[in-house]
Structures are given as C-alpha cells and as structure tokens.
Amino acid sequence: MVRFAHIADCHLGAFGRKPELREYNIKAFEDAIEKCIERQVDFIIIAGDLFHNPLPDMDIVNRTVKLLMKVKNAGIRTYAVYGSHDYNLARASLIDVLESAELFKNVVNYLESENRLTTVKDKTGVSITGLSGRKNRLEKGYYEQIEFDTPDGDSIFVFHSPIAEMKPVDIPDKNVVPISSLPDGYDYYAGGHIHRPLEDLKDGKPVIFSGTTFGSSYTDLEREEKRGFYMVEDWRPEYVPVDVCSMVKVLVDAEGFTASEVEEMLIEKAEAVLEGDIVLVRVQGKLFKGSPQDIDFASIINLLESDGERTVFLNKNSLEAERVEKVKVDEEREEVIEKKVFEEQGTPEGTQGDLGERLLRILKSEKKEGETTTDYENRIWHQTRSLIENIKEEGELEEKPEKELDPQKPSQLTLESYGGAPE
C-alpha cells in the first residue's frame, strides 16, 4: 500500500515585513512535514511554490534544509515541481540548489528532442511526472504542445496551473487550463497554485489542489478557507488541516459614516477582541465625510497589539474618501480614460503636462519572465528616478530635497549604497 503527502503553495519567506506572520508561515510548513514523518509516508510531493521567491532569506533556507534533511533521514523521498513563485528562468533558483544537494527530486523532465516528459520512478513503483508553473502562466502552451505518454502502472501527475473547471470565481479566467488538457491515465493529479483545497475527478481519478499550508497574502488569511495539505493512502485522498495560530476578523463598513464615527466603531470593536493570535482588520466603503487619513489607525493597531502577543493586519484598500465629484469618461480604452482623468484633475503646479501619464506607464509595467522581485523593484525605481531627473534637468520641475529612504525597502538602500541599479 502506498502512502504519500501532497503539499503545495507553502510560500516560505512570505510576509517579509511582518515577522510574526512569516514565522507562522514557516511553522505551518514544519508542522505539515512533522505530520508526514509521524504518519511514515513513503514520499512527499510538493506541487510548486515551496518558496515565496527564487532566492529566499537564508534563515528560511536553513530551516527548510534542516527539515528536508530530517525527511530524508527518515527514508522519505521528496518530489517537487517549480511554482510560479520559485521559478527563475535566468538563474538557478533555490529549488535547483536543493535538488543538487539531493534533498529532493525535481520531477519535471522535458525531453526537448522528443517533445515529451520523462518519468521518475519511486521505490514503491509509483511513476511521478510533472510540469512546472511559470510566470505569466506560460505553461498553458506546454499542455497544448507536449505529447504526453500514457503512464505504466501506478502514477501521479504533478502540476502548478489553475484548472478551468475547478477555479474559484475570484481567480481570473485568463490562461486557465481545461481539465481535459491534463494528460490521461494517471491515478492522482497533484495540483498547486490555487490557495484553497479543491477536489475534482478526471476519468474517475482525483484531481486535487492541496491549497496552501498557511498563505502568502492578506487575502489568503482573510478568506475563511482551510489551511493544510493532503495525505493519500491507497489512492484515497484525505485533507489534513494545519493550524498554527488562531485568527479573528474585525470588519467595519464605513459606507455612509464620517471618519470620526468610523474611528469610534473601530475602537469599540478593537476593545471587544479578547483573543486571537492574528487580528485581521478590514475597513471598507465610502466615507460620508472626511478621508481615511482622518482616522487614527496607528492607535487602533496599538490598542489591539497592546498585549504584545497579537499580530494585527489592517486592510483599508477599499476604504474611500468622501468624493467631491466624479470624473466622467465614456471611452473604453484604458489609455484614453487615464488621459482624460489627468486632464480633468489637472497636474500639480510646476510639472509638465504628461508627467503623470508617463509615470503611470512606468509604474504599471509588470514583472518580466525570470525577473527577480529585487531586479523588478530596482528597474521600476531606476526608470521612475531617471524620468524625474530628466525633467528636472529640463528645468520644468522644481528641485526638491531628497526624500528620506524607507528602511523597509531594501531595494532603495541597495541603490543608494551601490550607486545605481544593477542593470
């Protein structure tokens, strides 16, 4: 009888700016792995996004390596595919390093000359074949191109892509893969990418997204979904929850209230929170009077964090200020709408007409395939800065004192200390 674990989307190293959450995140992975060792699984499958980025912090790497070593010493094999987060086209990612250290085996083996995937055979006789997730979901093309072999005997297909028929409504339709694109004939389809546990069937065989062991964003935490992984015994999947902390939600709907009323409501709700390791505060809606800046969020967070044990996460992205008037635009093209908004809102004194538009174009550019977060941040910073500097040279923008650096943003510090982006 074969027993294995299917884990995905651990995103180790996520929540870099919230140390407590970063700790819960890695703790959840450690818990999941300990459970696998206890249950004496034959092997563990990691269906992508083990790390939050291709080069995570060394303390995270160290803890992961220790744990994978423990797994290996317990005689358990680990198989992995890349996720969209731990993949790096340009350079080796940590996944490659861990594979070189024989801590796990990458099961993505594309034989270009034959346009097919080769299979890894586990000691138990189970064949494991995988396809990685990539940035911008380029893997969709693979499913259309590759000629998949029909597997021999017991087999698992590992993937990291959203499946059309299973995808929750809040995940964009773009680039989803239909369930029919998954290769035929496998006994278990181990999916990653969607951070919620989901189950479906393909020709009577389980297609499973294990969900995330903890989550990598506020949205993940806020969604009241389960966190954990799957244990599969005799080809029957069973969900194993992982709970490393308790969460409490505070929701304030600001619609129709003034800023000071919302502040009072928040204080009242904050005072009523008596437990929870993590408190998720969400304030949403349009204020009747005032703007979000009128609300003293810092004091409310202090109030909630006053017992020292709790982590507070505040989301006020959908809290809107009282609007004086709306800009009306009929055009549908994004650029036209943006141009109109800039025209109607006017430009700050001393700046040239299209500065806003030009800045927006830079800030809107997306991360490129294979680009690291640091490189991406550096590129955007560099381009923004050179645009502003060029305008300064043209004498169209007043000289302003250098803005103080935000120590939370390492990319800025890097630029300052090394005098320019690495590009």
Q: Which stretch binds Mn ion (CB under 5 A): 6-14, 16-24, 218-226, 273-281?
A: 6-14
Classified as helix, coil or strand, 339 is helix
Between 80 and 287, name the residue whose CB sits nearer to Mn ion: 80
| Residue 139 binding Mn ion, by CB under 5 A | no
Active site residue: 6, 11, 52, 85, which one? 85
Number of chain positions touching Mn ion (CB under 5 A): 2
Give the amino acid at 279.
V
Residue 49 touching Mn ion (CB under 5 A): yes
Judged by beta carbon, residue 18 or residue 39, the one nearer Mn ion is: 18
| 377 belongs to the binding site for Mn ion (CB under 5 A) | no
Instruction: Tell me, yes or no, if 85 is annotated catalytic.
Output: yes
Q: How far apart are CA 31 and CA 311, in angstroms?
A: 20
**Residue 184 gets which letter from DSSP?**
T
Rounded least distance, CB 193 to Mn ion, Å: 6
Does residue 9 bind Mn ion (CB under 5 A)? yes
Q: Are 311 and 280 in contact (CB under 8 A)?
A: no
Q: Residue 390's CB: how many other CB atoms inside 10 A? A: 12
CB of 60 to Mn ion, least distance (A): 16
Work out how close the CB of 55 gets to Mn ion at its nearest, in angstroms, rounded to a whole number. 17
Q: Where are the alpha helices (DSSP H) in 162-296?
A: 218-222, 259-272
E-state strands within 316-365 = 319-320
When the beta carbons of 52 and 77 are compared against Mn ion, the nearer one is 52
Cα 193 to Cα 331: distance, rounded to the nearest angstrom: 35
CB of residue 83 vs Mn ion: minimum separation in angstroms?
Answer: 6
Of the listed pieces 41-49, 71-79, 203-211, 323-331, which binds Mn ion according to CB under 5 A? 41-49
Euclidean distance between CA atoms 67 and 48, whole angstroms:
17
Angle at the Cα of 342 from the Cα atoms of 339 and 343, rounded to 5 degrees:
85
208 vs 295 by CB, closer to Mn ion: 208
**At a CB cut-off of 8 Å and minimum separation 6, what does 285 contact?**
253, 254, 255, 256, 257, 318, 319, 320
Cα–Cα distance for residue pair 86/51, rounded to 1 Å: 6
Q: Which stretch binds Mn ion (CB under 5 A): 42-50, 145-153, 162-170, 245-253?
A: 42-50
Whichever of 53 and 411 has its CB closer to Mn ion, that residue is: 53
Binding flag, residue 86, Mn ion (CB under 5 A): no
Query: Which residues make up the interface to Mn ion (CB under 5 A)?
Result: 9, 49
Residues assigned a catalytic role: 85
